[in-house]
Structure 1
């Protein structure tokens, strides 16, 4: 990989709610990113300042995608062309971030995916506490369509989506993957009634151990018949979150980051 090549982040892909599948969908394959790129310093500063004011979590992939850190934007100084970020909780990760020459920032404020690249961060003092400072990016990708990073959930210790308002009885369904936009799960049988496209389940819970149980509303967006490894036919249901509060978005983003960290720990 060349020095200027973007970091590869395996198993974390960009998908649309209209085009979810098992295959990764690169941004260049899905849409013309030029139509979604902010290049004006005024527009960039305004958008990043809005993210800071709303307190959204930001995931920063550094060291060519080998490490990442969860942080928040603390301030945007358009006059000096700088961006201030919250200091991380893990000293080792902070040092890795400070040593990284190219860093990819990803977040999804209000369901709109934002991505940009900065150079090497600097340590500064802000109100008597350490913080990161980077130069404002030259470009920001702001996807108007709902497009999200998704990651597959554990198989051995599955995350369970509990449908409490399923007509017959409470239904516990193991997740296949999750993103800020929604999730997908397996049905017990392809003939399981319900889960028609457009149907909404208002009383659902997700146990994102150890981050807590989320009460969510799910709208069915697609039904995907597949054949599992054991040769059995199965049906995977893709759902979109409805009216997800910012606090829950932050928890889901933390959970996705946790899964990615655990996955990387198992890589040779």
Structure 2
């Protein structure tokens, strides 16, 4: 479970010095995982070399046994693939802090009369603050559209360039387009994250970056941060990003 393996599991386009973001103390690891279990945040577990994943919750963290128990998945075939997987990546975002760690093979156990998974605690955990979330590029051929319902005059749709749990970037079709200065907020925005559902969010413009497209045309990319994004919507984005990452890795293979 080297730090190099942890870094590659991030799937980030940028390189981060992960040393300052890593928890390696057993006490810190147990404390952080217990907080996640208590909060009930959804956790995505990627298994089978990233080919499959389940959404689950941590149920119990045992400091003495150095193990944790997490909920059984909804799809039996995926559960069996997870049981056979020797290396698994856990990802979640409690309180806007992305948590990621790698474990070995899991075991099936009974927990309060129901099937569950048990696994040894990780030797280290990576915690990235919201602003350090990697952003994943959205499909070019079938771009996501963000609808700004409360844009002055009439609702408008902007193409989404990339997305993360921290926010998203969009293309402005007109350099002189009004209403997207830094600090501008839109409180009724919608993105259809097919096939996972409909993202409803509030956005604040944080960055404006003038660029020149490959065809020579000038353009502006704006970076927006989510405002008080509900946990339900974070889970939706997490599932969508997870699917894009799986597709990206499949194409690389």
Tell me the TM-score normalized by structure 2: 0.87
Query: Counterpart in 2 of 1:170?
Result: 155
Flag the 1:223–1:209 CA change in 2: closer, same or farther, 3 A: same
Query: Counterpart in 1 of 2:146?
Result: 161
Q: Distance in 2 between matches of 1:91 and 1:264?
A: 24
Distance apart, 1:64 and its partner CA = 4.3
Distance apart, 1:218 and its partner CA = 0.5
Please show how residues 55-74 of structure 1 align to structure 2 within 5 Å.
55-74=40-59
Q: Distance in 1 between matches of 2:148 and 2:52?
A: 35
Query: Counterpart in 1 of 2:171?
Result: 186
- Root mean square deviation of aligned Cα: 2.6
Aligned residues: 252
Query: Counterpart in 2 of 1:130?
Result: 115
Flag the 1:51–1:246 CA change in 2: closer, same or farther, 3 A: same
What are the Cα deviations for residues 50-90 of structure 1, in whole angstroms up to 9, with x where unaligned?
11222222223334445443322122112221111222233
Partner-residue secondary structure (3-state), 2:57: strand
Flag the 1:69–1:150 CA change in 2: closer, same or farther, 3 A: farther
Q: Distance in 2 between matches of 1:86 and 1:229?
A: 48
Answering whether residue 80 of structure 2 is matched by residue 91 of structure 1, we say no
**Candidates 30, 43, 66, aligned match of 1:45:** 30
**Candidates 16, 20, 25, aligned match of 2:14:** 25
Query: Counterpart in 1 of 2:192?
Result: 207
Partner-residue secondary structure (3-state), 2:43: strand
What are the Cα deviations for residues 208-253 of structure 1, in whole angstroms up to 9, with x where unaligned?
2233323211011111222334332221111000101111111111
Structure 2 runs not aligned, ≥5 long: none
Contact preservation (8 Å) 2:130, 2:165: no
Larger helix share, 1 or 2? 2
Flag the 1:255–1:65 CA change in 2: closer, same or farther, 3 A: closer
Query: Counterpart in 2 of 1:16?
Result: none
Q: Distance in 2 between matches of 1:164 and 1:4?
A: 43
Structure 1 runs not aligned, ≥5 long: 14-23
What are the Cα deviations for residues 189-221 of structure 1, in whole angstroms up to 9, with x where unaligned?
222122112221122112222333232110111
**Candidates 111, 120, 124, aligned match of 2:96:** 111
Q: Distance in 2 between matches of 1:230 and 1:209?
A: 29
What are the Cα deviations for residues 76-126 of structure 1, in whole angstroms up to 9, with x where unaligned?
112221111222233343333222323222221111121222211111122
Query: Counterpart in 1 of 2:229?
Result: 244
